[in-house]
Amino acid sequence: MPLTNELIQQKLIDQFGDQITEWTQPYGMLTFTAPKELNLKVLQFLYDDPELRFQFLTDLQAVHFPDRKGEELMVVYHLHNLTDNIRIRLKIYTDIATPDVYSATALYKSANFMERETYDFFGVNFVGHPNLIRILNVDEMDYFPLRKEFPLEDQSRTDKDDDMFGR
Amino acid sequence: MRPVQYNNKLKTVEPPAGVMGDGYMATSLEKVVGLARKNSIWPLPFATSCCGIEFMATAASHYDLARFGAERMSFSPRQCDLLMVMGTISKKMGPVLRQVYLQMAEPRWVLSVGACACSGGIFDTYSVLQGIDQVIPVDVYVPGCPPRPEAILDGFLKIQELVGQESLRRRKSEKYKDLLESYGIQ
Amino acid sequence: MSEHILLPEGSIEKQTTTLNLGPTHPATHGVFQNILELDGERILKSTSTVGYIHRAFEKLAERRPLYQITPLTDRLNYCSSPINNMGWHITCEKLLGIQLPKRVDYLRIIIMELSRISDHLICNSIVGVDSGAFSGFLYLMQFRELIYEIYEEVCGSRLTTNIGRIGGFERNFTETAFAKLDQFLATYPAQLKEFESMFNRNRIFMERTIGCGPISAEKALNYGFTGPNLRAAGVDYDVRVHTPYSSYEDFEFTIPVGSTGDCYDRFFGAPTGNVAEYQYHRTGL
């Protein structure tokens, strides 16, 4: 039976019940949310199941929603089933005070660098990551730049003419 | 038989001012040394991003850089004369660039190629160094994003002019020492 | 950091050598630091530090309108910037729900395949330069100049092209652009054959690259490889075939797939597959 979004949804509901919420299909890609304690279990199930076989992690990133209190950081996993050519998206919400999420490095080696990047930019602490240090920014940086409250420009610059830049 | 062709379109460069005699020429040492140095510069291509690809096009056979004397690209700073910084320098790379500059021996020149090296370019962000002249002294700036190979060659020719006219005492002068002091380089 | 690294059997060394292949190294082409633990010439472990040209594209893109992000995408993979531009435009069109005429799709394919060729030209010729064979680089860069001339006819710029607009192109391709494209197609295959005859069965090149850095298909998939590197490891997956965008499904082309994933297989990556497509593209228009 060819794998369709409905089949994937059915199998996930059979396995996890109503812990998985917010089923949507923007532009044809099945998207769902799981609680943050279950992220490894969901990923493992999607990896091992002989019909689902989502064994390729395309992307791992985070988004900062400053307005959703208690759930500000969202870690998103994009998975791909290469044989049936289907992609799905898994979202995990976590709050900004204790942003601990289990690390997927044991399952996908590509998650190693991607989780370091997510930590570097958003401050999501991946529990169980072998080497969670900053990857792209300077090691001494003490803030997480891609959070919405931080500015884009370098604040220590003194020679910029403000009226030329529209400020 | 193929007709003989003579190339009449040669352009000879003026010799430096001096006294010519029968089998000798007397001129000042600075001019001779400058002439020798400027036509045999050994550059270090410090290529980090897109301008590095334009540099590769400049070094290829279409816009040959080697005909100006830069045949041997040195990759070790200890053996080069000219540091060509091409591409974006981020704050993480700044100390590395400074270290490379410090490892060069006098006389040394710096050519900053591309908008990102000159002033940060379009990347007005928290992680990009807004111009390499924040960490090292620069001699010639080549603007452009990326600059055309002709522009890079133009910058190189300006460096050649600077090299040819440099006084032998410049590197020990007070003004040069003050310049290095202002960058914190002893 | 201080895990004990075991030397392999039969090694004559007593301990490993630590070598810093520092951020500025000619072979890294850009900046990428590796601290290597070596046993003679074999690399046992390497710790990489990346991020030396971190330019904060994502944060910049948060503050710019959609059409101003195209020049930013140019600089992501600067060897083949039109592909990045097209990728961005296709995404925006999906978001905005714009339907494109077929002609735009075909013109996009022409530009994308040209830039794919130019990217692989750089990659392959630089493999030659790094192993010491400089002439191949000079032969192939000449063709990159021809491709740059075609870009200049279309959009005005050589390297960071900012080609196209969301929904199409800014102007139709001129007759000179097509003439230059025909001239390129006429001369490129012969030169590619000459380059291949210098490298493919060259004993020195083969000894240096066969068996150098092989990656198995399972490991490549787990590490998230895509593109020519994944195909060199033996997985026959190509996005153009499996999820065709911009009317790729109208064309037939062959994709080279390697077996061991070492440098030799990666070298064979792409220039060979593309030229045949072109002839189809021209007739497609």
One digit per residue, the tens of pLDDT, for chain C of length 285 reads 345 566 666 666 677 888 888 788 777 677 788 888 888 788 888 888 888 888 888 888 888 888 889 988 888 888 889 999 999 999 999 899 888 888 888 888 888 888 888 888 888 888 888 888 888 888 888 888 999 999 998 888 888 888 888 888 888 888 888 888 888 888 888 888 888 888 888 888 888 888 777 888 888 888 888 888 888 888 888 888 888 887 777 776 667 777 766 677 677 655 554 555 566 566 555
- Residue C285 and residue C102 in contact, taking contact as beta carbons nearer than 8 Å: no
Starting at the edge strand found earlier in the chain, the sheet holding B82-86 runs: B43-47, B82-86, B109-113, B140-142
Least Cα distance to C27 among B100, B72, B75 occurs for B75
Q: Which residue of C has its CA nearest to A84?
A: C242
Mark whether C70 and C168 lie in a shared domain.
yes
pLDDT of residue C274: 58
The neighbours of chain B, by the rule of 3 or more Cβ pairs under 8 Å, are A, C
Contact B61 C22 (CB under 8 A): no
Candidates C59, C60, C75; nearest CB to B49: C75
Taking the Cβ of residue A47 and every Cβ of chain C, the question of whether any pair is shorter than 8 Å is answered with no
Sign of CA dihedral A132, A138, A139, A140: negative
> Which one of C199, C214, C248 terminates a domain?
C199
Q: How far apart are CA C41 and CA C28, in angstroms?
A: 18
Q: Which residue of C has its CA nearest to B45?
A: C26
Span B81-109, mean pLDDT? Answer: 90
Which of C 113-132 lie inside 8 A of B, CB atoms? 122
Is it the case that residue B149 has pLDDT exceeding 70?
A: yes
Span B171-183, mean pLDDT? Answer: 88
- Residue B185 and residue B102 in contact, taking contact as beta carbons nearer than 8 Å: yes
Sign of CA dihedral C181, C185, C186, C188: positive
Contact C159 B127 (CB under 8 A): no
C-chain residues within 8 Å CB-CB of A108? 222, 224
Min Cα distance B78 → chain C (Å) is 13
Is it the case that residue A163 has pLDDT exceeding 70?
A: no
Q: What is the CATH number of the domain that holds A122?
A: 3.30.460.80
Q: Residue A101 is encoded by which pair of tokens? A: 């999420």
> Which one of C199, C224, C246 terminates a domain?
C199
A-chain residues within 8 Å CB-CB of C240? none
Report the SS3 class of residue C73: helix
Of the candidate ranges A31-45, B128-142, C4-18, C97-111, the one whose mean pLDDT is the lowest? C4-18
> Does a structural domain hold residue A65?
yes
Mark whether C132 and C21 lie in a shared domain.
no
Sequence-distant (6+) residues with CB within 8 A of C2 are none
Min Cα distance A34 → chain C (Å) is 23
- Residue C95 and residue C80 in contact, taking contact as beta carbons nearer than 8 Å: no
- Residue B153 and residue B63 in contact, taking contact as beta carbons nearer than 8 Å: yes
Sequence-distant (6+) residues with CB within 8 A of C95 are none
Span B89-109, mean pLDDT? Answer: 89
Contact C224 A145 (CB under 8 A): no
Mark whether C181 and C248 lie in a shared domain.
no
Mark whether C70 and C44 lie in a shared domain.
no
pLDDT of residue A165: 61
> Does a structural domain hold residue A101?
yes
Span B144-163, mean pLDDT? Answer: 92
pLDDT of residue C1: 39
Contact A109 C94 (CB under 8 A): no
Contact B53 C79 (CB under 8 A): yes
Contact B125 A150 (CB under 8 A): no
Least Cα distance to C90 among C115, C73, C114 occurs for C73
- The whole domain housing A138 covers 5-149
B-chain residues within 8 Å CB-CB of C72? 122
Which of A 120-159 lie inside 8 A of B, CB atoms? 136-138, 145, 150-155, 157
Mark whether C80 and C192 lie in a shared domain.
yes
Mutate to test the interface with A, among B90, B93, B126, B127 (most CBs of A within 10 A): B126
Mark whether C231 and C258 lie in a shared domain.
yes
pLDDT of residue C64: 86
How many contacts, defined by CB atoms under 8 Å, are there between B and C? 89
Is it the case that residue B112 has pLDDT exceeding 90?
A: yes
Taking the Cβ of residue A57 and every Cβ of chain C, the question of whether any pair is shorter than 8 Å is answered with yes
The more confidently predicted of residues B181 and C258 is: B181
Q: How far apart are CA B90 and CA A141, in angstroms?
A: 13
pLDDT of residue B156: 93
Is it the case that residue B157 has pLDDT exceeding 90?
A: yes
> Does a structural domain hold residue A164?
no
Mutate to test the interface with B, among C52, C64, C115, C127 (most CBs of B within 10 A): C52
Candidates A57, A108, A136; nearest CB to C54: A136
DSSP string, C77-132: SGGGHHHHHHHHHHHHHHHHT----HHHHHHHHHHHHHHHHHHHHHHHHHHHHHTT
Please give the backbone phi and psi of residue B31, each rounded to the nearest 5 degrees, phi first. -70, -40
Please give the backbone phi and psi of residue C109, each rounded to the nearest 5 degrees, phi first. -65, -40
Mark whether C30 and C110 lie in a shared domain.
no
- Residue C30 and residue B48 in contact, taking contact as beta carbons nearer than 8 Å: yes
Span B108-112, mean pLDDT? Answer: 92
Q: What is the pTM of this model?
A: 0.86
pLDDT of residue C270: 56
pLDDT of residue C275: 57
- Residue C107 and residue B27 in contact, taking contact as beta carbons nearer than 8 Å: no
Mark whether C248 and C209 lie in a shared domain.
yes
> Does a structural domain hold residue A157?
no
Q: Which residue of A has its CA nearest to B94?
A: A138
- Residue A154 and residue A132 in contact, taking contact as beta carbons nearer than 8 Å: no
Report the SS3 class of residue B83: strand
- The whole domain housing C16 covers 2-49
Contact A146 C59 (CB under 8 A): yes
Q: Residue A148 is encoded by which pair of tokens? A: 């919405």
Mark whether C75 and C125 lie in a shared domain.
yes
Sequence-distant (6+) residues with CB within 8 A of C36 are C18, C19, C20, C21, C43, C45, C46
Contact B91 A138 (CB under 8 A): yes
Contact B126 A138 (CB under 8 A): no
Mark whether C18 and C127 lie in a shared domain.
no
Contact A152 B127 (CB under 8 A): no
Is it the case that residue A59 has pLDDT exceeding 60?
A: yes
Contact A152 C243 (CB under 8 A): no
Candidates A56, A108, A152; nearest CB to C59: A152
Candidates A55, A56, A145; nearest CB to C59: A145
Min Cα distance A63 → chain B (Å) is 19
Contact C26 B75 (CB under 8 A): yes
Query: How many structural domains comprise chain C?
Result: 3
Q: Residue A98: which pLDDT band, with cuts at 50, 70 and 90?
A: confident
Sequence-distant (6+) residues with CB within 8 A of C94 are A27
Least Cα distance to A137 among C251, B117, C196, B92 occurs for B92
The neighbours of chain C, by the rule of 3 or more Cβ pairs under 8 Å, are A, B
> Which one of C179, C199, C219 terminates a domain?
C199
Q: Which residue of C has its CA nearest to B120?
A: C55
User: Helices C102-130 and C135-155 meet at what angle, rounded to 10?
Assistant: 160
Task: Determine which helix (DSSP H) or strand (DSSP E) holds B156, and give its type and residue range.
Answer: helix B149-164
Residues in B whose CB is inside 8 Å of some CB of C read 46-50, 52-54, 56-57, 60-62, 75, 87-88, 90, 92-93, 96, 100, 122-123, 125-128, 145-146, 148
